[in-house]
Amino acid sequence: MAQYQYHGSKRPKNTKKTLLHLLRYLGHHKWLFLLVGLLVCVSTGANLLGTYLLKPVINRFILPGDLKGLLAAVAGMGIMYLCGALASLAYSQLMIKSAQTVIQEIRRDLFVHVQRLPLRYFDAHTHGELMSRFTNDVDTVQEAMNNSFAMIIQTFLTLTGTVIMMMVLSLRLSMIVVVFLALMFAFIRFNGSRSRKYFQRQQAQLGRINGFVEEMMAGQKVEKVFNHEKKDFENFCVLNENLRRESTSALAYTGMQVPTVVSLSYFNYAVSACAGGLFALSGLMDLGGLASYLVYVRQSAMPLNQFTQQVNLLMTALAGAERIFDLMEAEPEVDEGDVTLCHVKEEDGKLVETAERTGHFAWRVPEAPGTPEVPEAPGTPEVPEAPGTPEVAEMLGTPAAAGSGTRLVPLKGDVRFDQVVFGYVPEKQVLNGISLYAKPGQKIAFVGSTGAGKTTIINLINRFYEIQSGTITYDGIDIRRIRKDDLRHSLAMVIQETHLFTGTIADNIRYGKLDATDEEVREAARIANADSFIRRLPDGYDTMLYSDGSNLSQGQRQLLAIARAAVARPPVLILDEATSSIDTRTERLIEKGMDAVMEGRTVFVIAHRLSTVRNSKAIMVLEHGEIIERGDHESLLEQKGRYYQLYTGQFELE
Ligand SMILES: Nc1ncnc2c1ncn2[C@@H]1O[C@H](COP(=O)(O)OP(=O)(O)OP(=O)(O)O)[C@@H](O)[C@H]1O
Ligand SMILES: [Mg+2]
* CATH numbers and ranges of domains, the chain: 15-329 (1.20.1560.10), 340-410 (no CATH), 415-653 (3.40.50.300)
Measuring CA to CA, which residue among 617, 499, 488, 633 is closest to residue 558?
A: 499
What is d(CA 415, CA 618) in angstroms, rounded to the nearest whole number? 14
Select, from the ranges 343-352, 372-381, 452-461, 580-589, the one with the highest average predicted confidence (pLDDT).
452-461
Whether the predicted pLDDT of 44 surpasses 50: yes
Average pLDDT over residues 38-53: 92
pLDDT in tens, 119-162: 888 888 877 778 888 888 899 899 888 888 888 989 999 999 99
Task: Specify the ligand 1 atom closest to the Cα of 452.
Answer: 21
Compute the distance from residue 549 Cα to the ligand 2 centre, in Å: 21
* Alpha-carbon 582 to chain mean position: 35
E-only strand ranges, 376-534:
406-410, 415-422, 431-438, 443-448, 469-474, 477-478, 491-494, 503-504
Compute the distance from residue 583 Cα to the ligand 2 centre, in Å: 20
CB atoms near residue 74 (< 10 Å): 13
Q: Cα dihedral angle (272, 277, 283, 284), rounded to 10 degrees? A: 0
Whether the predicted pLDDT of 595 surpasses 50: yes
What is d(CA 28, CA 101) in angstroms, rounded to the nearest whole number? 10
**Ligand 1 neighbour 456 (Cβ under 6 A):** yes
Whether the Cβ atoms of residue 315 and residue 339 lie closer than 8 Å to each other? no
What is d(CA 264, CA 40) in angstroms, rounded to the nearest whole number? 28
Ligand number, closest to the Cα atom of 624: 1
What is d(CA 367, CA 338) in angstroms, rounded to the nearest whole number? 10
* Alpha-carbon 301 to chain mean position: 42
Compute the distance from residue 411 Cα to the ligand 2 centre, in Å: 27
Closest residue to atom 25 of ligand 1, CA basis: 450
Q: Pick from 119, 421, 424 the residue to mutate for probing ligand 1's pocket: most ligand atoms within 8 Å of its CB.
A: 424
Compute the distance from residue 433 Cα to the ligand 1 centre, in Å: 16
Compute the distance from residue 452 Cα to the ligand 1 centre, in Å: 7
**Ligand 1 neighbour 123 (Cβ under 6 A):** yes
Task: Specify the ligand 1 atom closest to the Cα of 625.
Answer: 14
469-474 vs 415-422, strand pairing mode: antiparallel
Task: Specify the ligand 1 atom closest to the Cα of 453.
Answer: 18
3-state secondary structure of 474: strand
Strand order in the sheet with 415-422: 431-438, 415-422, 469-474, 477-478
Q: What's the pLDDT band for 650 if we cut at 50, 70, 90?
A: low
Q: Cα dihedral angle (201, 188, 319, 23), rounded to 10 degrees? A: 170
Strand order in the sheet with 626-631: 491-494, 572-576, 602-606, 443-448, 618-623, 626-631
Task: Specify the ligand 1 atom closest to the Cα of 446.
Answer: 21
CB atoms near residue 285 (< 10 Å): 20
Per-residue confidence (pLDDT) for residue 112, from 0 to 100: 93
Mean of per-residue pLDDT scores for the chain: 85
Task: Specify the ligand 1 atom closest to the Cα of 120.
Answer: 1
Per-residue confidence (pLDDT) for residue 397, from 0 to 100: 37
Least confident of 36-50, 185-199, 357-371, 413-427: 357-371
Task: Specify the ligand 1 atom closest to the Cα of 454.
Answer: 21
Q: What's the pLDDT band for 415 if we cut at 50, 70, 90?
A: very high
Average pLDDT over residues 484-488: 89
Phi, psi of 215 (to 5 degrees): -65, -40
Ligand number, closest to the Cα atom of 454: 1
Compute the distance from residue 466 Cα to the ligand 1 centre, in Å: 15
pLDDT in tens, 562-593: 999 989 888 889 999 888 888 888 888 888 88
Whether the Cβ atoms of residue 424 and residue 123 lie closer than 8 Å to each other? yes
Interacting residues of 567 by C-beta distance below 8 A, sequence separation 6+: 509, 510, 512, 513, 516, 520, 521, 523, 524
Compute the distance from residue 455 Cα to the ligand 2 centre, in Å: 4
Closest residue to atom 24 of ligand 1, CA basis: 450
User: What one-character DSSP code corresponds to residue 339?
Assistant: B
**Ligand 1 neighbour 430 (Cβ under 6 A):** yes
pLDDT in tens, 186-242: 998 888 888 878 887 887 888 788 888 888 888 888 888 888 889 999 999 999 999
Closest residue to atom 5 of ligand 1, CA basis: 424
Whether the Cβ atoms of residue 138 and residue 317 lie closer than 8 Å to each other? no
Three-state SS for 37-101 is: HHHHHHHHHHHHHHHHCHHHHHHHHHCCCCHHHHHHHHHHHHHHHHHHHHHHHHHHHHHHHHHHH
Measuring CA to CA, which residue among 356, 335, 372 is closest to residue 483?
A: 335
Compute the distance from residue 474 Cα to the ligand 2 centre, in Å: 22
Closest residue to atom 18 of ligand 1, CA basis: 453
**Ligand 1 neighbour 452 (Cβ under 6 A):** yes
CB atoms near residue 239 (< 10 Å): 19
Whether the Cβ atoms of residue 488 and residue 464 lie closer than 8 Å to each other? no
What is the residue-wise DSSP string for 413-441?
A: --EEEEEEEE-SBTTB-SEEEEEEEE-TT
Compute the distance from residue 104 Cα to the ligand 2 centre, in Å: 39
Name the residue type at position 240: N
503-504 vs 469-474, strand pairing mode: unpaired
E-only strand ranges, 562-625:
572-576, 602-606, 618-623
Closest residue to atom 29 of ligand 1, CA basis: 451
Closest residue to atom 1 of ligand 1, CA basis: 123
Select, from the ranges 190-199, 242-251, 383-392, the one with the highest average predicted confidence (pLDDT).
242-251
Whether the predicted pLDDT of 651 surpasses 60: no
503-504 vs 544-545, strand pairing mode: antiparallel
Compute the distance from residue 89 Cα to the ligand 1 centre, in Å: 59
Measuring CA to CA, which residue among 324, 311, 312, 330 is closest to residue 103?
A: 324
> If you compute the radius of gyration of the chain from its CA atoms, what whole number of angstroms results?
37
Name the residue type at position 267: F
**Ligand 1 neighbour 424 (Cβ under 6 A):** yes
Whether the Cβ atoms of residue 574 and residue 494 lie closer than 8 Å to each other? yes
CB atoms near residue 310 (< 10 Å): 22
What is d(CA 612, CA 379) in angstroms, rounded to the nearest whole number? 50
Compute the distance from residue 630 Cα to the ligand 2 centre, in Å: 19
Longest pairwise C-alpha distance within the chain: 121
Q: Cα dihedral angle (519, 521, 523, 528), rounded to 10 degrees? A: -170
**Ligand 1 neighbour 459 (Cβ under 6 A):** no
Task: Specify the ligand 1 atom closest to the Cα of 622.
Answer: 21
What is d(CA 263, CA 301) in angstroms, rounded to the nearest whole number? 10
Closest residue to atom 30 of ligand 1, CA basis: 451
Closest residue to atom 10 of ligand 1, CA basis: 424
Task: Specify the ligand 1 atom closest to the Cα of 457.
Answer: 18
Percent residues over pLDDT 70 in the chain: 92
Enumerate the H helices of 117-228 as residue ranges: 119-124, 127-132, 138-143, 149-169, 171-218, 220-225
* Alpha-carbon 313 to chain mean position: 23
CA-CA distances (angstroms) from residue 643 to 117, 133, 620, 629?
A: 38, 48, 9, 8
What is d(CA 322, CA 343) in angstroms, rounded to the nearest whole number? 45
Measuring CA to CA, which residue among 502, 499, 616 is closest to residue 564?
A: 499
Beta-carbon neighbours within 5 Å of ion ligand 2: 455, 496
Closest residue to atom 3 of ligand 1, CA basis: 424
Measuring CA to CA, which residue among 621, 530, 610, 611 is closest to residue 567?
A: 530
Of how many residues is the chain composed?
Answer: 654
Average pLDDT over residues 523-548: 90
Per-residue confidence (pLDDT) for residue 369, from 0 to 100: 60
Greater confidence (21 vs 376) lies with 21
Least confident of 58-67, 164-173, 176-185, 342-351: 342-351
Whether the predicted pLDDT of 288 surpasses 50: yes
User: What one-character DSSP code corresponds to residue 256?
Assistant: H
Whether the Cβ atoms of residue 443 and residue 605 lie closer than 8 Å to each other? yes
What is the residue-wise DSSP string for 486-521?
A: HHHHTEEEE-SS----SEEHHHHHHTT-TT--HHHH
**Ligand 1 neighbour 269 (Cβ under 6 A):** no
Ligand number, closest to the Cα atom of 430: 1
Per-residue confidence (pLDDT) for residue 647, from 0 to 100: 82
Taking the chain, what is the end-to-end CA distance rounded to the nearest angstrom?
38
Name the residue type at position 126: T
Compute the distance from residue 447 Cα to the ligand 2 centre, in Å: 10
Task: Specify the ligand 1 atom closest to the Cα of 577.
Answer: 27
**Ligand 1 neighbour 570 (Cβ under 6 A):** no
Q: What's the pLDDT band for 8 if we cut at 50, 70, 90?
A: low
Q: What's the pLDDT band for 10 if we cut at 50, 70, 90?
A: low
Per-residue confidence (pLDDT) for residue 469, from 0 to 100: 92
Per-residue confidence (pLDDT) for residue 9, from 0 to 100: 58
